[in-house]
Amino acid sequence: MTKVKFSPSLMTMDLDKFKEQIEFLNDHVDSYHIDIMDGHYVPNITLSPWFIEEVRKISKLPMSAHLMVTDQSFWVNQLIDMKCEWICMHVELLDAMAFRLIDSIHEAGLKAGVVLNPETPIEVIFPYIELVDKITIMTIDPGFAGQRFIESTLQKIVELRKLREEKGYNYVIEMDGSSNRKSFKRIDEAGPDIYIVGRSGLFGLDSSIKKSWEIMKKDYNDMTGKVIE
């Protein structure tokens, strides 16, 4: 069995089956991915810190908040107050704030992550790379589910793995965007630690979350030759 870490993107779940889907996934996944969008940095408005509180009523798994918002400090402070386990910020919005916000997250006993858009090179985070706990590579443009998978972004995962080994950094590497049967083989070859799965990779595969999970496992096995626990 291969231990592959999956983090479902709850923005894409069936909210009519919220409790049923979370209770099933609690026994199968490692964390939950919460997209917080403000309608400014990206056109959509989606989940909020309130949603994290609702998930916590029926789950003890770690929550990872992905901030697609213009006012990073405002949202980071809210997430610190509610003790969100992972707080992940877009590097494109961190000018003059990176060290302060990362330190604030760590001082609260939480984990700080950064997110890179497809066009953003990893060199942007070099000044503070040794401080971050997670680096998320966007394999689609942020803001919308179901976009075209951008294969060239996977090279950043390869580079981050090599850099981690050479420098002894402790960050985990996550990929976000169009993780599904069509892309599993290429993603696996790049080697992220965490796969974010959404509508095309999990929730949209069947009306039953149990069947969707089994289909996703088979898709991953078929395309990579590995078996999910």
**Any binding-site annotation on 40?**
no
Structure-token match 């599904």, residue found: 180
176 in active site: yes
**Any binding-site annotation on 177?**
yes
- Which value, to the nearest 10 degrees, does the dihedral of the CA atoms of residues 99, 33, 195, 16 take? -170
**Any binding-site annotation on 190?**
no
**Any binding-site annotation on 33?**
yes
Retrieve residue 113's tokens: 């992550």
**Any binding-site annotation on 178?**
yes
**Any binding-site annotation on 146?**
yes
Which of 16, 27, 35, 188 is flagged as catalytic?
A: 35
Which of 176, 188, 193, 219 is flagged as catalytic?
A: 176
Alpha helices in the chain (DSSP H): 18-25, 49-56, 72-81, 98-107, 154-167, 184-190, 209-224
Q: What is the DSSP letter of 28?
A: T
**Any binding-site annotation on 144?**
yes
35 in active site: yes
| Alpha carbons 141 and 161: distance in angstroms, whole number | 22
**Any binding-site annotation on 149?**
no
Residues contacting residue 61 through CB under 8 Å, at least 6 positions apart = 26, 29, 30, 31, 32
Question: Residues marked as binding?
Answer: 33, 35, 66, 143-146, 176-178
For the annotated binding site for a divalent metal cation, the residues are 33, 35, 66, 176
Catalytic (active-site) positions? 35, 176
